[in-house]
Amino acid sequence: MIAIIDYDIGNVAAVANMLQRLGLPCKVTARADEVEQAERIILPGNGAFDACMQNLRASGLIPVLEQQVLQRCVPLLGICVGAQMLGHGSEEGQEPGLGWIDMWVKRFPALPGLRIPHMGWNRVQPIQPTNLLTKDMTAEARFYFVHSYYMAPQDSANILLQANYGIDFAAGVVRDNIAGVQFHPEKSHRFGKQLLAAFVGGDRSCKRV
């Protein structure tokens, strides 16, 4: 079962609908016992970084997520702000992130002709083309983005996908069984379906002890 974490951030239904169209068993949940039974976990995110982190802490689910993801190596996929929350924090606010990936979240620079937020379709480039999430991704793959802040991993080994919007930025990050994408696969039609299917069918390897 795929657990979609519900902590009052608004876009969980769209993720569930996409998984259901793929015929994949999923459950939108705010219950720790259901998260404990999950074989895959999706952490969506929508809106401001601080509000998302505050809601996640208030949900009481962080301990069970840490148990599942960091100790039991259950694969997790963060989406949009859910991906940003995997890092240490964001220039958008003051709240600390989960700190599962060594990265910070930065605001796009003010460049001539660059509208912020970055909104719409954009192509991505796999930086780790042999990763299970990207190995079948074609050169025409494009995804739907809505964001004013971008992920900036400290170690390039954590960059899974790259896109360009005035600057090159990490459109996807990865560390062992933890991955995050800045775009919305649930709004990205066949390319989003392909990525979600790859996440569900991927390896659950984990190097942690």
pLDDT-wise least confident of 66-80, 115-129, 160-174, 193-207:
193-207
Reply yes or no on whether the pLDDT at 86 is more than 60: yes
Reply yes or no on whether the pLDDT at 209 is more than 50: no
The catalytic residues are 80, 184, 186
Do β-strands 178-181 and 167-175 pair in parallel, antiparallel, or remain unpaired?
antiparallel
Q: pLDDT tens for residues 116-130?
A: 999 999 999 999 999
Q: Which pLDDT belongs to residue 173?
A: 98
Q: pLDDT tens for residues 26-55?
A: 999 999 999 999 999 999 999 999 999 999
Q: What is the mean pLDDT of the chain?
A: 94
How many whole angstroms separate alpha carbon 10 and alpha carbon 43? 12
Q: pLDDT tens for residues 149-164?
A: 999 999 999 999 999 9
């259950």: which residue's tokens?
74
Do β-strands 142-147 and 149-153 pair in parallel, antiparallel, or remain unpaired?
unpaired
CATH architecture assigned to 2-201: 3-Layer(aba) Sandwich (3.40)
Confidence of residue 203 (pLDDT cuts 50, 70, 90): low
How many whole angstroms separate alpha carbon 35 and alpha carbon 79? 17
The structural domains of the chain, with segments of one domain joined by +, span 2-201
Nearest Cα to Cα of residue 90 among 149, 153, 160, 155: 149
C-alpha dihedral over 111, 116, 120, 124, to 10 degrees? Answer: 50
How many whole angstroms separate alpha carbon 19 and alpha carbon 115? 32
